[in-house]
């Protein structure tokens, strides 16, 4: 394993020259993915830049990612770009800090235990099958929109036992607005606070209100029933502070539910959207996926018990998250001086760890830009540096939903690929758009082909043991 060469005594890491007011912000804002890649190539594993008044450092080596996320994690808090989402996410799990975060995480953790999420598998498959009832051979669809609605319904049902079928279109549009607002703010020196009525802020405010109305309904229904259904929503509603005995305030409840709604569907939906893009462009990989599905499942839908044998499907998900990591960069802000790769990093510096760059680095992956799901066969994950591949982050702030997401993505992929082949339409332009998540800029326009040999009646009864 190559390790980072310490350059003791050098105060600031090398980096691109910047303009006096904006520093490197405009260059970065114009093409975030391309700029990060170029800087890594030109300046190495630790790159210093300036975004307006802010000093930022990009670390492009797994050892350094481990330093920030694990070994020295107590010297960091979440970064300013994530703090810009406070109006939306409030002080939920993703954005809160310290003791408060720790107690909220402890509270939510049981909903993500392995046995618990295994019980969600059936719902995930059932909802996918229900979606497929409206699909037909030869149809044109936007697979990104479909995946977004599906994963939103799944997160609402599994974590909050809520049916939000009628609201998914509204929620998806609101999410779209929020994601685009994030882009609009990247590259600008000053973002007016959310209460200033700029056209952008007004659009964002309307989108947040739409989402809040959906969540308020879900919470109010449960409060009214008073029922403890044993799901995450009940856990949050009934949780009491050990010392004060107080229950969670409405505001805190709203923040946690909003965070889980947002973090719990967009990421998985984008992963699936990218998987369809990649499979459409790699018919060999698609053929191997179909062969595995036919062999393992025959004419039944997948269940959690099939997962250990759906290895190629798992490889497709892993490889998609490598090539198009839906969380494409993680950031932290140093709250005290730290040493990274031999450099002294002052307090207040923002440190970015770009999955987009590290996952595509030839030092860790052969032919890194190629989509090769088979590279994950034979335990690649155990052989590579733990932080050469970190789609879910790491350390104490690792994604709480990582196993949920991997299981969900694999089951949805297998359920759909069992019945349909998705091909990008000839005019489909696929460009990665780095918002908070990495999404296909123009959706994923596909045409469906029903796979031969698959019974066409989507709601054909299934034997109970196969569920």
Asked if 413 interacts with ligand HEM (CB under 6 A), we say no
Distance CA 258, CA 215 (A): 7
- Helices and strands (H, E) in the chain, number of each type: 19, 12
Secondary structure, 3-state, 283-333: HHHHHHHHHHHHHHHCCCCCCHHHHHHCHHHHHHHHHHHHHCCCCCCEEEE
Out of 181, 268, 318, 349, which residue is the one contacting ligand HEM (CB under 6 A)? 268
Q: Which is nearer to ligand HEM, 27 or 365 (CB)?
A: 365
Mask for 43-82, x = binds ligand HEM (CB under 6 A)? -----------------------------------x----
The residue number with the shortest CB distance to ligand HEM is 401
Nearest distance from residue 268's CB to ligand HEM, in Å?
4
3 state DSSP class of 340? strand
Nearest distance from residue 270's CB to ligand HEM, in Å?
8
Asked if 125 interacts with ligand HEM (CB under 6 A), we say no
Nearest distance from residue 209's CB to ligand HEM, in Å?
22
Nearest distance from residue 208's CB to ligand HEM, in Å?
18
Asked if 162 interacts with ligand HEM (CB under 6 A), we say no
3 state DSSP class of 416? helix
Asked if 327 interacts with ligand HEM (CB under 6 A), we say yes
Selection from 268, 263, 315 nearest residue 288 by Cα: 315
Q: How far is Cα of residue 264 from the mean position of the Cα atoms in its chain? A: 8
Asked if 316 interacts with ligand HEM (CB under 6 A), we say no
Q: Which is nearer to ligand HEM, 159 or 208 (CB)?
A: 159
Token pair in block for residue 332:
């932290």
Q: Which is nearer to ligand HEM, 59 or 200 (CB)?
A: 59
3 state DSSP class of 170? helix
Q: Which is nearer to ligand HEM, 338 or 448 (CB)?
A: 338
Q: Which is nearer to ligand HEM, 93 or 253 (CB)?
A: 93
Selection from 327, 328, 338, 335 nearest residue 13 by Cα: 338
Token pair in block for residue 220:
């109010």
Asked if 399 interacts with ligand HEM (CB under 6 A), we say yes
3 state DSSP class of 29? helix
* Interface stretch with ligand HEM, choices 14-22, 173-181, 205-213, 398-406 (CB under 6 A): 398-406
Distance CA 133, CA 137 (A): 11
Q: Which is nearer to ligand HEM, 200 or 407 (CB)?
A: 407
- Residues contacting ligand HEM: total by CB under 6 A: 24
Helix 143-160 to helix 121-132 angle (10° resolution) is 140
Mask for 85-124, x = binds ligand HEM (CB under 6 A)? --------xx----------x-------------------
Out of 128, 267, 318, 435, which residue is the one contacting ligand HEM (CB under 6 A)? 267
Asked if 401 interacts with ligand HEM (CB under 6 A), we say yes
Distance CA 325, CA 438 (A): 7
Asked if 157 contacts 127 with a C-beta cutoff of 8 angstroms, the reply is yes
Q: Which helix (H) or strand (E) holds 351?
A: strand 350-353
Asked if 24 interacts with ligand HEM (CB under 6 A), we say no
Asked if 271 interacts with ligand HEM (CB under 6 A), we say yes
Question: Which residues face 55 on adjacent strands?
Answer: 50
Q: Which is nearer to ligand HEM, 155 or 164 (CB)?
A: 155
Mask for 354-393, x = binds ligand HEM (CB under 6 A)? -------------------------------------xxx
Nearest distance from residue 456's CB to ligand HEM, in Å?
31
Place of tokens 């200033």: 196
* Interface stretch with ligand HEM, choices 3-11, 12-20, 255-263, 454-462 (CB under 6 A): 255-263
Distance CA 112, CA 120 (A): 10
Q: What is the dihedral of CA 347, 350, 354, 355, to 10 degrees?
A: 70
Asked if 400 interacts with ligand HEM (CB under 6 A), we say yes
Nearest distance from residue 100's CB to ligand HEM, in Å?
11
3 state DSSP class of 385? coil
Token pair in block for residue 14:
């090398």
DSSP track, 58-112? EE-SHHHHHIIIIITGGGEEE-HHHHTTHHHHTTSTTT--HHHHHHHHHHHGGGG
Out of 264, 315, 373, 432, which residue is the one contacting ligand HEM (CB under 6 A)? 264
Selection from 97, 15, 21 nearest residue 54 by Cα: 21
Asked if 415 interacts with ligand HEM (CB under 6 A), we say no
Q: Which is nearer to ligand HEM, 94 or 200 (CB)?
A: 94
Positions that interact with ligand HEM (CB under 6 A): 78, 93-94, 105, 155, 259-260, 263-264, 267-268, 271, 326-327, 330, 391-393, 397, 399-401, 404-405
């Amino acid at each position: 394993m190559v390790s980072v060469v310490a350059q003791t005594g050098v105060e600031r890491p090398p980096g691109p020259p910047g303009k006096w007011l904006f520093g490197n912000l405009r260059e970065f804002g114009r093409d975030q993915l391309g700029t990060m890649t170029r800087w890594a190539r030109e300046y190495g594993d630790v790159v210093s830049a300036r975004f307006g008044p802010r000093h930022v450092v990009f670390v492009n080596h797994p050892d350094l990612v481990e330093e920030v996320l694990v070994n020295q994690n107590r010297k960091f808090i979440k970064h300013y770009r994530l703090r810009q989402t406070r109006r939306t996410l409030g002080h939920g799990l993703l954005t809160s800090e310290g003791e408060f975060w720790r107690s909220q995480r402890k509270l939510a953790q049981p909903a993500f235990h392995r046995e618990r999420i295994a019980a969600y598998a059936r719902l995930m498959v059932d909802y996918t099958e229900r979606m497929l009832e409206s699909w037909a051979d030869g149809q044109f669809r936007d697979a990104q929109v479909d995946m977004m609605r599906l994963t939103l319904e799944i997160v609402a049902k599994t974590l909050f036992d809520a049916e939000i079928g009628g609201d998914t279109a509204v929620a998806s549009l609101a999410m779209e607005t929020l994601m685009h607002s994030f882009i609009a703010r990247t590259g600008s020196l000053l973002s007016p606070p959310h209460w200033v009525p700029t056209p952008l802020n007004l659009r964002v405010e309307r989108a947040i209100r739409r989402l809040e109305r959906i969540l308020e309904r879900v919470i109010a229904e449960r409060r009214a029933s008073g029922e403890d259904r044993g799901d995450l929503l009940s856990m949050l509603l009934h949780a009491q502070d050990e010392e004060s005995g107080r229950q969670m305030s409405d505001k805190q409840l709203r923040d946690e539910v909003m965070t889980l709604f947002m973090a719990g569907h967009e990421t998985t939906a984008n992963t699936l959207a990218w998987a369809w893009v990649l499979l459409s462009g790699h018919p060999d990989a698609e053929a191997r996926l179909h062969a595995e599905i036919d062999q393992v499942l025959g004419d039944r839908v997948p269940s959690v018990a099939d997962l250990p044998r759906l290895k190629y499907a798992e490889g497709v998900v892993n490889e998609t998250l490598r090539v198009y990591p839906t969380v494409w960069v993680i950031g932290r802000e140093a709250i005290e001086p730290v040493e990274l790769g031999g450099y002294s990093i002052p307090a207040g510096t923002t440190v970015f760890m770009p999955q987009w760059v590290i996952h595509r680095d030839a030092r860790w992956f052969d032919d890194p830009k190629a989509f090769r799901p088979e590279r994950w066969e034979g335990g690649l994950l155990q052989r590579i540096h733990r932080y050469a591949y970190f789609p879910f982050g790491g350390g104490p702030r690792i994604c709480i939903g990582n196993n949920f997401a991997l299981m969900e993505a694999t089951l949805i992929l297998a359920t759909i690929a069992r019945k349909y082949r998705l091909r990008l339409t000839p005019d489909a332009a696929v460009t990665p758009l780095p918002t908070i998540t990495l999404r296909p800029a123009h959706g994923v326009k596909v045409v469906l082909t029903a796979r031969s040999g698959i019974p066409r009646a989507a709601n054909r009864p299934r034997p109970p043991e196969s569920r």
